Amino acid sequence: MRVVEEEPRVVVMEGSWSAERVIRDIVEDGVQEDPFYVMDLGEVVARYRHWKELMPRVEPFYAVKCNDDKLLVSTLAALGAGFDCASKAEIQLVTGLGVRPDRIIFANPAKPASHIRYASAAGVISMTFDSETELLKTKQYMPHAQLVIRIRCDATSAQCPLGIKFGCDPVAEAPRLLKLAAVMGLNLRWSGHVVRMPNERLAKRLFYSELMNGKRKQGGQFLRYKDVQKRHLANCNIDSTRWEMLAKDR
């Protein structure tokens, strides 16, 4: 192993090497007093390219909370990745690296109102939701947001099952939340994605069932989901009779 170039935080390695060996060398040097970690940026680049090769139509959004190291985030930004930001600080970090706001999704199950206002001011309009409370906050502080519903994934074999913290039940909760979002006049980004799914997928069945069978509440003026869909399409100058074809042709 030979170091051919060194910067304050970046070392370019030549020849055979391993992260374990680098860590051992640092520890045995005896001058490292603070915690540290070793990151192989070449592996980060390789895995991103592997993702794009296997799933070119699926845009990855890196969850900044996993590791907000500026060097790692800037590497992913240079590769063209999107970013899942859970706070004002994470949005500041990513936009500070020159990432466009449309490459950021504000994903937090309990967003502070001040952070929602900041995201809006920064030009970030994509947000997740998985509860009625988040829809109410969105309506109040960022009604123009483009929303993505977060579905719970119960990975029972996972070391940290995040289904207990994130997401809504696809059967018991999602239909009600989608109806509420439609009634509140909020924008849902999922329509174009769902229309490209196989017909047997639950999300598509729920979506088209609501479009075909939505009803106005007796005595009220609530809009059906399909009415809200048409209104949003009209605002974007999109022919509501051709939107499915346009979505499939993305």
Cβ atoms of 95 and 67 within 8 Å: the answer is no
- The predicted pLDDT at position 206 comes to 60
CA angle 219, 131, 200 (to 5 degrees): 85
Domain total in the chain:
1
Q: Token digits for 141?
A: 């502080």
* Residue 208 structural domain: 196-249
- The predicted pLDDT at position 195 comes to 63
Residue 208 is assigned to a structural domain of this protein = yes
Q: What single string gives the DSSP state of each residue in the chain?
A: -EEEEE-SS-EEEESS--HHHHHHHHHHHS---S------HHHHHHHHHHHHHH-TTS--EEEGGG---HHHHHHHHHHT-EEEE-SHHHHHHHHHTT--GGGEEE--TT--HHHHHHHHHHT--EEEE-SHHHHHHHHHH-TT-EEEE-B----TTSSS-GGGTS-B-TTTTHHHHHHHHHHTT-EES-HHHHHTS-TTSHHHHHHHHHHHH--PPTTS-PPPHHHHHHHHHHHTT--TTTHHHHHHT-
pTM higher than 0.85: no
Residue 222 is assigned to a structural domain of this protein = yes
- The predicted pLDDT at position 86 comes to 96
Residue 210 is assigned to a structural domain of this protein = yes
Residue 245 is assigned to a structural domain of this protein = yes
Low-confidence ranges of the chain (pLDDT < 70): 1-10, 162-163, 188-197, 201-238, 243, 245-250
Residue 116 is assigned to a structural domain of this protein = no
Could you report the per-residue pLDDT of 101-148, keeping only the tens digit for each?
999 999 999 999 999 999 999 999 999 999 999 999 999 999 989 899
Residue 169 is assigned to a structural domain of this protein = no
Q: Residue 111: which of 80, 84, 139, 133 has the closest Cα? A: 133
Residue 226 is assigned to a structural domain of this protein = yes
Cβ atoms of 151 and 167 within 8 Å: the answer is yes
